[in-house]
Amino acid sequence: MGAGMTFVDLLLTQFDQAYNTRSWHGTNLRGSIRGLTADDAAWRPHPGRHNIHEIVVHAAYWKYAARRRLTAEKRGTFPLKGSDWFARDAADGERWASDVALLDASHRSLRDAIAALSTADLQRSVGRSVTALSLVSGIIAHDLYHAGQIQLLKRMREEG
């Protein structure tokens, strides 16, 4: 870590690299959906498998859930009804743009919650045997996992 950089600063750097800033590892989550159309996002590799649009909303939901746990906010404040996975079956340009905006807003909101943490807060329990640190580390991994998944789905569609 650089001079004056806290552990929270390091986590924020990793959080942003996994989502929308340059890093050595290649495409991040936001980069994986850049330029996609609603048709691209609605394509499924097989019936019953998730499409990119559903992955985007799923990622937005878990950013919300992580923020809620970090801030002790009550449940029920996510803008969409439901939890975890949200069906997105038809290509709908307005809905796609709205859901990408929801992902961006969820990222910014969670980033603000992480930035408000102190180093001591990172050891605080935010759930059954889950610390704030493990939650933030997990959401970073979650973004990168789904970025890779989206990259694979895009390749499958191209080669399909």
Per 3-state DSSP, the chain is made up of helix, strand and coil in percentages (nearest 5) of: 60, 5, 35
Angle at Cα 85 formed by Cα 146 and Cα 19, nearest 5°?
A: 30
- C-alpha–C-alpha distance, residues 112 and 91, integer Å: 32
Ordered structural domains, the chain, with CATH: 7-159 (1.20.120.450)
What does pTM read for this prediction? 0.94
Which phi and psi (to 5°) does residue 149 adopt? -60, -45
Helix ranges (H only) for 51-131 are: 52-71, 93-115
The amino acid present at 13, given as its one-letter code, is T
- C-alpha–C-alpha distance, residues 15 and 18, integer Å: 5
Angle at which helix 7-19 crosses helix 93-115, to 10 degrees, equals 170
- C-alpha–C-alpha distance, residues 45 and 153, integer Å: 7
Residuewise pLDDT in 10s, the chain (160 residues) = 567 889 999 999 999 999 999 988 899 999 999 999 999 999 999 999 999 999 999 999 999 999 999 999 887 789 999 889 999 999 999 999 999 999 999 999 999 999 999 999 999 999 888 999 999 999 999 999 999 999 999 999 998 7
